[in-house]
Amino acid sequence: MIEQAAWELFQPVVAYPKNVHFRAASLPDATPFHTACYPGRNLARFGVRFRHSLQRQAAGKLIYLVALAVNENDRDKIVGGGKLIRGEKVFEIVDLIVAPAWRSQGIGAGFIAIMLRLARDAGASAVEIGVLHENRRARALYRRIGFVEARELNQPGKKPATILRRPLS
């Protein structure tokens, strides 16, 4: 029998659209991901960072997930992405983003549910996520999923942020 805490992890937190699925990112995703989620950023610089992340993924240091929506032409369109960074026992979610037109449909919660499961399967005891104080919507979402305030980050020259933590057992 599965204990309660473990069982909760495998429940979808919210439903996301049926035509959306998630997979690990790969090199051809760079340009469509940039267009969908980072149109204001320099494409070349984005590409360099993206390739670097994929190298770290190949080395087993992180998992870079993207969400795709199958459109009317049966083509996949990238609608979001996020990274799960492997740690000793505590893993970290960074750069979670859903394209503006696709927000408030459960895709962000879907990313987190999958990342929690991947972290747990890899032996993590907790997952952390950093959120700026000004990002109230994201913080409310993380709290709803069971993340709690762990510590404050007040670095000179940077906006104040909070690290939220979700224990896995």
Ligand X SMILES: CC(C)(COP(=O)(O)OP(=O)(O)OC[C@H]1O[C@@H](n2cnc3c(N)ncnc32)[C@H](O)[C@@H]1OP(=O)(O)O)[C@@H](O)C(=O)NCCC(=O)NCCS
Contact assessment for residue 57 and residue 51, using Cβ atoms and an 8 Å cutoff: no
For position 106 contacting ligand X by CB under 6 A, the verdict is yes
For position 14 contacting ligand X by CB under 6 A, the verdict is yes
For position 153 contacting ligand X by CB under 6 A, the verdict is no
Which one of the spans 28-36, 48-56, 132-140, 146-154 is the region binding ligand X (CB under 6 A)? 132-140
Among 105, 118, 153, 163, binds ligand X (CB under 6 A): 105
For position 5 contacting ligand X by CB under 6 A, the verdict is no
Which residues fall within 8 angstroms of residue 60, CB to CB, at 6 or more apart?
A: 86
Contact assessment for residue 62 and residue 84, using Cβ atoms and an 8 Å cutoff: yes
Q: CB 105 → ligand X: shortest distance, Å?
A: 5
Among 131, 146, 162, 168, binds ligand X (CB under 6 A): 131
For position 98 contacting ligand X by CB under 6 A, the verdict is yes
For position 127 contacting ligand X by CB under 6 A, the verdict is no
Angle of helix 136-144 versus helix 107-121 axis, rounded to 10: 50
What distance in Å separates the CA atoms of residue 167 and residue 162, rounded to the nearest whole number?
16
Q: CB 129 → ligand X: shortest distance, Å?
A: 6
For position 48 contacting ligand X by CB under 6 A, the verdict is no
Identify which of residues 73 and 83 has a Cβ nearer to ligand X in the complex: 83
For position 103 contacting ligand X by CB under 6 A, the verdict is yes
Identify which of residues 13 and 74 has a Cβ nearer to ligand X in the complex: 13
Q: How far is CA 155 from the centre of its chain?
A: 23
Q: Convert 50-99 into a string of H (helix), E (strand) and C (coil).
A: HHHHHHHHHCCCEEEEEEEEECCCCCEEEEEEEEEECCCCEEEEEEEEEC
For position 108 contacting ligand X by CB under 6 A, the verdict is yes
